[in-house]
Structures are given as C-alpha cells and as structure tokens.
Structure 1
Amino acid sequence: MFARWQYLSSHYFAESDYSLVLLFTSANKNGNFVALRVVFLFCLKCLQKLSSSRMQNATMVRPLFGGALSATIPHSAKDISELREIPDNQEVFAHDHTDQSIIVELLELQSHVQNGDAARYHFEDVAGSNKASAPGTSEVRAVVALPKSDLSLEECSSAFLLTGTQCVAKFNEEAKNTVTIYLGLFRLPQFSTDVLVTFNDPLSISPSSSSAVGIGGEQQENTEPWTLQDFQHLLQSLRLHDPGVFG
C-alpha cells in the first residue's frame, strides 16, 4: 500500500483539451519511489457543455405559419399572437424587456421592382403603415444582397438586407420614436411571394412615448437587447417546409 503522496507537477494531456494530468510520487511497500499519473476530467468540458446548453436555450427554432416555415428566434421573444389577434400572413414577436419587435410576413410578389429596389419598395410601404412617409421621417441607409450560400431558404431566387430609420409614433401617439429598421426580403417568384422579415430596433425613444415606461428599470435575467447579429442569424435560419402555405 502506498504510504504517502508528494505533488510534483501538473500539465495538460496533449491528447485532450479537457484532461488535467497531475503527477505524483509515492513509496511502495519496498520503499521505492514510483511515479503515478492521475488524470482528472477538467471542468472546462463541463463549462463548455453548460455554455452550449445556455446558448441553445437563448435561441429557439420556432415553427412559423403552422409549421410551413421555421426560423431561429432570438432569446426573450414573446409571441404576440398569444396576446392579440395577428393577421394570417404575419408572425409577430416582441422582446420581453425592450421595445424591439420582429415581424415575418408573406406578401404578394412585387414583380414590377427588381433587386434592391424591391427592398426599398417594401421599406416605403412599411413607412406608410408607420405614418413615416413625410419628408425627413424615413431614410434608407444601405441595401445589400444576401449570398444564397449563407441562407437556408434555398427556394428564394434572391434575398436582400436593408438598413434604414423611421420616425414612428406608437399606438397613434403624438410622441415619435426614432427606430432603426432592418428589413430582410426573400423573393420567391415561383410562388408569387415576397417573404418580408422586419426587425424594429428603437434608436431613441421620446420621454412622452408609452415605450419609455419601464426602460432603465432594474436589470433582469435575459434583458439584453437583440442585436443585428441575432437578426442575421434569423434570416440565415429561415427555412421552408410546406410550399402549400403560399396558396
């Protein structure tokens, strides 16, 4: 039986990033010292698994339009259809703790506009719905094509991401908020459909707006706002399962 232990050194196994090897010596029953290597599973492996689990919980692949489509929706998303009636051609999600929202819409293909002009057309249509059509109340900052190799929606002929701003009054209030609008457009001419995904990200909120209520309050778990990267991940994950949804 080994009589005593003496810690000599520690190092990582070259064969594994997750093992910690501790080298000890001990005296055996003949009085000779022998070297022993005791291998411990390093906590990093557990931490990485935990981190991965949290990331999976942070975002969720959700069915859209009864499962006809799906996409990865960011953390803290509330399905607005559980609170009020939503048009059949829309899926609407709102952040639990911020004034951000994401809208997925199935719209009639606007075949008279092509390429980036189609994204601008839909942006102007959104501006009209937001009563932000007056001069100086909306601006397109950039329109870029999305590489099809990065998309899961293989059926689209082309896709674009528009970035712009609009001055929007919530619930027909007098106070207006400046909102950054990220607009993803997927064109599916074979189905006579434009799939529009809009991310409304408030840039500045008027103190008189109802959106100002609760902002700056006590920090809660998962209060982090959605980011452009979250939205890009959503666009890349959008997938079609049942073309019958287009009629």
Structure 2
Amino acid sequence: MARPLFGGALSALIPSNATDVSELREVPDNQEVFVHSQTDQSVIIELMEYQDQVDDAQAARYHFEDLAGSNKASAEGLWEVQGVEPLPLSQLRLQECSSAWILTGTQIISKFNEEAKNTVNMYLCVMRLPQFTTDILLTFNHPVTISPLSSSAGVGEDGGWTLQDFHTLLKSLQLLDPGVFG
C-alpha cells in the first residue's frame, strides 16, 4: 500500500521493515527519511531546488557531488560514480516529471561525524520538475563495509532492501497535491 509523504502531498510504496526516522528524531521539512529496522540501510526522499544551470543528464551527478560534500566525502578517493542512466518516464507514475536519472555510486563516509568510515553504495535518482522549480531526489544508501569503530558496527549487513525495492519506490512515487511545492 502506498504511504503518504509530505503530509499527503506525495505517496509511494516504501520498502518493508521501514522505520520513519521522524518518529525518532527531527527531520527537515523537505525530507522524508526511512531506515531499515534490521540493517543500516536508508531511503531518503528530498524536495530540492531545481538546478536550472545544470543539464538534465548532469543533474544526478550534481546532487551526488553535493551529497559528497555534505557527507565530508568530497576529498579525492572518498567518492566514485559508477554510472548514470536515464529512467524512462513511461515507467513512472509521476507524470509531472520532465526527466529522471539514476546514478550508481559509492561514498566512504562516517555516521554522525564519527572518525570511523563506512563504505556505502548509493543509488540516487533525480526526478526533474522544472514547472515547480523542484528536483525530487531519492537516495538509497546501502552500506557494504562498516568499520568496527562505527556506531553502526554489529548492525546486520546481510538481507535488507534490494535495488528492486528502490526501483519499486521510484516507479510508484506520485504527486497528489502540487501545493507542496509552494
């Protein structure tokens, strides 16, 4: 069943075993954050300002590099883009989307500004909505190596969500109230 997002303005099929982080701590108004109940995986849905100076094909890379900076992974060797490909609009329920791009990458980051670094595969999708001056950014964080010194050490690394679960979320996202964009 689709889960309401942003006060019911959007909805999507969120993977099973998801905990809404807003029930645990404060989350910015432009984000919906879910974590897997057994692993250190997370899914983040963000309403971002549309970057009109960025070509559609480069938008996912732009947001990924911005995330690398926020994650303190902007130094050389701490992030890598494996590929960017278009997501066919015919596969999306979000009909207002003008283009969608999926990036596969890796970042070596710490959790909660710890010194311990974890290797995280990141799958990022940017859905562009220029008519609302919004980029919707969907990110699936899948840790592949967790440092024994990380606060995440001992959290299950096996099982959890799959890339197919993330694709189901992407394809099911739909806009119910455009007023969310202001």
Normalised-by-shorter TM-score class: over 0.9
Aligned partner (choices 155, 174, 177) of residue 239 of structure 1 = 174
Aligned partner (choices 46, 60, 63) of residue 122 of structure 1 = 63
Corresponding position of 1:68: 9
Aligned partner (choices 107, 122, 136) of residue 166 of structure 1 = 107
Shift of 1:183: 0.3
Structure 1 counterpart of 2:71, one-letter code: N
Deviations for 1:194-222, whole angstroms, at most 9, x for unmatched residues? 00001100011111111113437xxxxxx
Q: Which ranges in structure 1 are unaligned for 5 or more consecutive residues?
A: 1-59, 217-222
Q: Which ranges in structure 2 are unaligned for 5 or more consecutive residues?
A: none
**Alignment TM-score, normalising by the size of structure 2:** 0.97
**Alignment TM-score, normalising by the size of structure 1:** 0.72
Distance 1:156 1:209 in 2: 38
Q: Percent same amino acid among aligned pairs?
A: 66
Shift of 1:61: 1.4
The answer to whether 1:207 aligns with 2:148 is yes
* Higher RCO, 1 vs 2 (CA within 8 Å, ≥6 residues apart): 2
Structure 1 runs (4+) deviating above 2 angstroms are 213-216
Distance 2:177 2:156 in 1: 40
Deviations for 1:21-51, whole angstroms, at most 9, x for unmatched residues? xxxxxxxxxxxxxxxxxxxxxxxxxxxxxxx
Greater C-alpha Rg: 1
Shift of 1:133: 0.1
Aligned partner (choices 26, 35, 38) of residue 85 of structure 1 = 26
Deviations for 1:92-151, whole angstroms, at most 9, x for unmatched residues? 000000000000000100010112211100000110110000000000001010001000
Please tell me the root mean square deviation across aligned C-alpha atoms, in Å: 1.1
Aligned pair count reads: 182
Equivalences for 1:215-230 in 2 at 5 Å? 215=156, 224-230=159-165
Equivalences for 1:41-56 in 2 at 5 Å? none
Q: 8 Å contact 2:40–2:155 — kept in the other structure?
A: no
